[in-house]
Amino acid sequence: MKKYFIPLLMLLLIKLPAQSIIVGFYNCENFYDTTNQIKVIDEEFLPGSQKQYTSEAYSIKSKLLAKVIYGMGKMDNSHGIAILGLVEIENKWVLEKLIAEPILQKYHYKYLHFDSKDQRGIDVALIYNPAYFIPYQYRPYSLTDANHFNDYATRDILYVKGRLDGEWVHILVNHWPSRRGGAFISNGKRIWAASVCKKIMDSVAIIDPQAKFIVMGDFNDNPNNASIKKLALLNPFLALFKKGYGSLAFRDSWSLFDQILLSRHWGQSNNNLTKYKPIIYTIPDMIETQGKYQGYPKRTYDGDRFRGGYSDHFPVALIFKPILSGNTLK
C-alpha cells in the first residue's frame, strides 16, 4: 500500500486555528491616578476635588477600561489585541495597573510610554501583546517648538518600529490639539501636528520607500478635514464617516476623530495583514441610556457628577483577517 506523507509545516497550518489580528486605538478620557503630580494640572482628579476622584472611582474606571480592551481582543476569533494605542493616560503607574487587571493578565501585555510636556499631564502610549508584536525601537516626537505651542505644551507623537505578525511596521500614536476656541481658530495647530507626523513618515520612507505605516490617534479632526488629508494615507474609516458613524458626540452631532490610517500601498503584499475591516467598538453598557447625553458614549463624569462610565469616546479597531483562514471579511 502506498503511503502518503504530509509535510510537517502543512500539518501545522491545518491544525492551527485562524486568528485575526486586532489593531486598536482608545481615548481613555482623563485616566488619572489619585496622587497630585508636581508641575501637572491634575487637581481636578484628586480625592479632595469637586469630582471626588477617589481610589474607588479610579478602580472602577480601570476595570471598565480593561473590560473594553478584553472585549476588543475577543473579536473575530482573536486572542487578545495585538497593539492598542491609548491617549489621555497620566503616567506609567496607571498603565501598569491597567494591564495587571485580572481580566487582562493572561495576555501578558507590555507598554511603551514617555512623559510629555502636556500641561494636564495626559500622554499617549502603546500597549502590545508580545505574541503578536515585538518592538524594535521607539521614541517620542515633540510638537512644541519656538513657533508652535510655545505657550501651550501639548502631547507628543509616539513612534514605534517593530514586527507585527512578522511584518515590519512603523506605528505613530497621536493625540492632536483639541478644537478649543473653535474648529477654525484651532485648525492651524492640527495642521502643524499633521506636518510633524508627515515628516516622521518621510524620514522613514527615505530609507525604506515601501515602509508600512499604522498612524492612529484622536486627531480632533474628521476623515474629511485638511489635517487628515495632509497625511496622504489610506483611511479605512472614511467610509464609516460618510455613512454617519462616529466615535464621539457633541451637541447631538457625531464626529469620527478616532481613526487608524495605513500606508497607501498597504494591501499590495500578500500576507496576514492584507485584508482588514474597520470597527467602532461598542457594547450596550458603554452607551448612556438616560439624560441629555442619552445615546452618547457613557463617560466617567457628567461635570462633577460621577457616572461610572468608560470614556467620552468609543474605541476603534482594524481587524486583520489571516489569508490562510480562507475566510473573507463581511
What CATH number is attached to the domain comprising 84? 3.60.10.10
Count the domains in the chain: 1
State residue 234's pLDDT score.
96
- Domain membership of residue 160 as a residue range: 18-324
Grid-cell match 485584508, residue found: 275
Give the single-character DSSP code of 98.
H
Residue 264: half-sphere exposure toward Cβ, Cα within 13 Å: 7
User: For the whole model, what pTM was predicted?
Assistant: 0.91
State residue 151's pLDDT score.
55
Residue 9 lies in a domain: no
State residue 293's pLDDT score.
87
CB 156, CB 124: distance < 8 Å: yes
Residue 304 lies in a domain: yes
Grid-cell match 441610556, residue found: 289
Residue 300: half-sphere exposure toward Cβ, Cα within 13 Å: 23
State residue 274's pLDDT score.
86
State residue 251's pLDDT score.
85
State residue 215's pLDDT score.
98
Question: Residue 26: which H helix or E strand, with range?
Answer: strand 21-31
pLDDT (tens, 9 = 90+) of the chain, 330 residues, equals 333 333 433 333 333 456 899 999 999 999 999 999 888 889 999 999 999 999 999 999 999 999 999 999 999 877 899 999 999 999 999 999 999 999 999 999 999 999 998 888 899 999 999 999 999 999 999 987 656 555 567 899 999 999 999 999 999 999 999 887 787 888 889 999 999 999 999 999 999 999 999 999 999 999 999 999 999 999 999 999 999 999 999 888 999 999 999 999 887 776 778 889 999 999 999 999 988 889 999 999 989 999 999 999 999 999 998 775 444 444
CB 167, CB 271: distance < 8 Å: yes
Residue 131 lies in a domain: yes
Tell me the C-alpha distance between 154 and 120, whole Å.
Answer: 9
State residue 73's pLDDT score.
95
Residue 1 lies in a domain: no
State residue 81's pLDDT score.
97
Give the single-character DSSP code of 261.
E
Grid-cell match 492651524, residue found: 188
Residue 198: half-sphere exposure toward Cβ, Cα within 13 Å: 13
Segments in the chain forming alpha helices (H): 8-15, 55-73, 92-99, 183-207, 226-230, 238-242
Residue 12 lies in a domain: no
